[in-house]
Chain A
Amino acid sequence: MFFSLIQQAKKLLVLALLCFFFCYLFLQRLYFAQTQIFWRFVLFLDFPFLLLLAVSIGFITKEMQPGRPQSVVSPIPQRSHSSQAADTRGKHRIQAELKRLEQEARFLEEELELIERMEKASAACKEMFSNVESRPDPLLPITNGPINPMWDQWFEGPQEAQGCKCWIL
């Protein structure tokens, strides 16, 4: 019902534009016919006005053409078509996200099963402690052996290069 009202309103608009145009012509000839500037006025004002009128009528009547039954019968299918597309896109996105969540849930359940058989942190701490203690470390003041003589290479020989090999810099 709303759409048919719009159609009626468009028809009325076209009629109103036509009426206005003819009134304009009548008044124009009534007041300017006696003067030589009449024809110049016609050229300058009538042509663009005619063009605007033609475009407006063409635009309005195009929407009223019978070749687009959907818009004539009801705008709702046209609107729902675009909203249907949006729903489909949203649906796919939600489905993908849902799938990811279900996969995440499966992974978490697997991890919960594994954690039941897992040893406590103290075992890992003990292993780490043992590993660290046993390895020689050149950066420590107190360390296990054996010492590598290369550890002190940084303090042997000239510390600054005499020249740079790279000519670019």
Chain B
Amino acid sequence: MLNGAEDEEKWLAEGIAGIQHNAFYMHRALDSSNLKEVLKYSAQMLSELRTSKLSPHKYYELYMRAFDELRKLEMFFKDESKHGVSVVDLYELVQHAGNILPRLYLLCTVGSVYIKSKEAPAKEVLKDLVEMCRGVQHPIHGLFLRSYLAQISRDKLPDIGSEYEGDADTLKDAVEFVLQNFTEMNKLWVRMQHQGPGRVREKQEKERSELRDLVGKNLHVLSQIEGVDLEIYKETVLPRVLEQIVNCKDDLAQYYLMDCIIQVFPDEYHLQTLETLLGACPQLQPTVDIKTVLSQLMDRLSNYAQSSADVLPEILQVEAFAKLSNAIGKVIEAQVDMPAVGAITLYVSLLTFTLRVHPDRLDYVDQVLGACVKKLSNIPKLEDSRAIKQVVALLSAPLEKYNDIVTALTLSNYPLVMDHLDNGTKKVMAMVIIQSIMKNNTRISTSDKVEVLFELIKGLIKDMDGADVDELDEEDFKDEQNSVAGLIHMLYNDEPEEMLKIICTVKKHTMAGGPKRLPFTVPSLVFSALRLVRQLQGQEGDIVGEEVPATPKKIYQLLTQVIEALSTVPSPELALRLYLQCAEAANDCDVEHVAYEFFTQAFVLYEEEIADSKAQVTAIHLIIGTLQRMNVFGVENRDTLTHKATGYSARLLKKADQCRAVYACSHLFWVDGQDGIKDGERVFLCLKRALRIANAAQQMANVARGSSGPVTLFVEILNKYVYFFEKGSQQVTGAAIQGLIELINTEMQSDSATPDTASDAFLASTLRYIEFQKQKGGLMGEKFESINL
């Protein structure tokens, strides 16, 4: 190969030298106005272009050198005073050259002068030139020669309004000339691949690509002809060009030229000739990258549609969508071997088009998706990653456009398309959908839509068949499930009846999620349901006695079921929290038995499932906190529950935990507010008990480690004392507080005390508070006056 390149350099150098040598003598002859010599040396110079050894790239270099010389020659020919021969005679004279290539270059050059002289109609000369050029059948020679012809004739076409305008058919002549040159050039170009022995196909295609603009230039010239209006374009230009494109049966040419047409002619023309243009597509070779071509077209049309408001009716009028859709169908049908990615890309383009041009026509969108489903169902399994990417693009497009998943949910084919994705991609797509909802704060307000939505994102909702669970990335999984949990809150309707339906639907789907998902989804569902309960409570007055489908009772049943499902996980701590939440809601709705039931469930869980001591501590504090706020219970139930709670508190493992739980229980007997019980006796009992436990803890610490622990527990209890003292409990007296402070001081001064800055500070600020209350004066001040620090 290296040798080949070197040789080529050598040949090129020789060619250039040959041109320079002859150009030198030609210049001399030009200077002395010796026509005979001029013709001789110019022909010899042009003979260098007869080489077949150069690649197109190198040949072009050679051609450009000759081209520059030909311009000087043309100047000479133009000036009759220099050579004394009329242009008509000159036109014959140059045809005496024996070699065809130099002869035709000279003929074109004189032809240019001939047209300018207007001694013959431009059309006659052009017709003669384009006809004579047939003699050059060598692809590269011919392409460059005809390119030269195109070049010199560009400004001399008998276009309407041009100074070379001819008779009535003048425009036809101009168009005919360019079309013919184009056709012949394309034929030569296509033929390149069959000629040249021992050439590698790849190299050949590269070489051909280098020449494509020579061919395409003709189309550009056509588009520049003033007189080519829509009608001419429709009747003559396009059919002729397409005929050539289809008939040449060459994929490279077909692809390039189709693209050329689309780029070169105005969008308005494309719109009006859509049928013709698209009609050619299925006739192209199966290997043509038609998807890119059509995508380009649709891109241009949609840009065009947005360029001005007047365009849109035009697009509607020509039924662009129907035509495009039809054409794509046919292309896919015709190109049996087209990979899935190609077909889907086409649909993506069509979808983009319709979204931009007809944003209001959801049926179009659905139609596109439907067509895609049809195509996909013929493919056993979508494995090509690029194809999958395209499907994702297809599905994402409507979401981005409408910023509203609700719209997508009305598309019947949307889920069908999704069905063709593999599990991983389904999840990705589901995430896209959820993120869209979140971002746009879209509310999904009917159970039907919810149903569809969950169908779409089912990849996230439950384990798919054949999915390998082990491969799941824990973090991704959490993200996904958190998104689903968030999504559940977006499913909302003010109408309780519909809301209940939604909840039922969500429940149906989430319950199938399996133990790994439930901890994420159940809380959302529960809170969603609780919100409904509270809402119903709020409007109870309006719907008394009627046969209401959405009753709190039903919802409570549902809630129980949902939370029970967590036992399969198992996740007792979570279940317990949820029960407590439910109990609180029931409390708000004033249904004692339900609240009681939920509490019972919570206690059962506590007893049976929560064994871990830390979890127990947390749970018991939750229970106490919730129970404290309950006001629905009658004395009996409340007693039972508080009794239980206190009991559990005292049975915690660590003394410190016991102590804290017990003094927390004191609040169960003192509830602020009008109806709240204020049982000072039992409060005091709790506190004393806590104090005892704190003492015991201190002693245990002494025994075990030889030093007593910090006095923190005592200070905490002191705070409770102060709280209840302030609240006016009879049993918690100033003396009691004072006693406790002394106790703490003693403890701190004992030998075994461990100094602890945190508890010291705590104590100090507590004391400071008491001092502050004393100084504040008033009722409270007087009360605190009894404490001596």
Q: Do A and B come from one complex?
A: no
